[in-house]
Chains A and B, each alone.
Chain A
Amino acid sequence: NAGVTQTPKFQVLKTGQSMTLQCAQDMNHEYMSWYRQDPGMGLRLIHYSVGAGITDQGEVPNGYNVSRSTTEDFPLRLLSAAPSQTSVYFCASSYSTSAGGAYEQYFGPGTRLTVT
């Protein structure tokens, strides 16, 4: 299993540009999520999905869109990049069929995004 993969690893955008961060998992996990981590900070939840066709907002959803058309993929779209979105973005997935399951999350390697 490749686990959770993210592309690209690094990205530089200009203010106002849009882009999609890709996330895929091959573990047939129901739950997938996107976090951002600013320097010296913990992770903050952007959006999450409990299954194909179902998404919901996390703690910091503004400026981001998600969709979940398949179990495997959960792309994150930046609509109009702003310098405040400079961060490291992590995608995670987990099974969630039992109590406590969604907390055993598997994280991708991250995408380091700089917006100038």
Chain B
Amino acid sequence: LAKTTQPISMDSYEGQEVNITCSHNNIATNDYITWYQQFPSQGPRFIIQGYKTKVTNEVASLFIPADRKSSTLSLPRVSLSDTAVYYCLVGASSNDYKLSFGAGTTVTVRA
């Protein structure tokens, strides 16, 4: 598994855009990048997954530069309900099922 590094915590205010960068210098050619969100007392929830360039869905955008050694999860116009822990995972499902969640990034949104 490629090791990932992300900030431990980030603070923001309602209405702002939050960008969380994950470093994964040892990413392999067939690895995908996946982000999860976890609220207190709940299981993680899949947010977005990408391989290269940019992926966007109704929740977030994922930006992946050409060298794929990092990725940035962008949460547009956050609200108080976006306060959660966000995890970045890197790996390839086809031959690597040992998924590993690091400590994640705790995002706190204030009014």
In the complex, number of A-B residue pairs with CB atoms less than 8 Å apart: 79
Q: Which of B29-48 contact A (CB under 8 A)?
A: 30, 32, 34, 36, 41-46
Is A110 within 8 A of B41, CB to CB? yes
Chain B facing A: main interface SS: loop
Partner of B43, one of A58, A103, A104, A110: A110
Known: A105-B46, A108-B43. A99 touches B30 (CB 8 A): yes
Q: Is A53 an interface residue (CB 8 A)?
A: no
How far, in whole Å, are A62 and B22 apart by their CA atoms in the complex?
30
- Greatest chain A CB density within 10 A among B46, B87, B99 is at B99
Is A100 within 8 A of B97, CB to CB? no
Question: How many residues does chain A have at the interface if contact means C-beta atoms less than 8 Å apart?
Answer: 31
Residues on A with C-beta less than 8 A from B101 are: 35, 42-44
Q: Is A64 an interface residue (CB 8 A)?
A: no
Partner of B93, one of A4, A59, A102, A107: A102
Q: Is B49 an interface residue (CB 8 A)?
A: yes
Q: Which of A8-38 contact B (CB under 8 A)?
A: 31, 33, 35
Residues on A with C-beta less than 8 A from B42 are: 107, 109-110
Within the complex, the shortest CB–CB distance from A112 to chain B, in Å, comes to 9
Residues on A with C-beta less than 8 A from B89 are: 103
Q: Which residues of B contact A (CB under 8 A)?
A: 30, 32, 34, 36, 41-46, 49, 51, 87, 89, 91-94, 97-104
Ordered nearest first, which 10 A-B pairs have the shortest CB separation? A107-B43, A102-B93, A42-B101, A100-B32, A43-B101, A103-B34, A90-B43, A99-B94, A42-B103, A104-B46
Q: Which residues of A contact B (CB under 8 A)?
A: 4, 31, 33, 35, 40-45, 48, 50, 56, 58-59, 90, 92, 96, 98-110
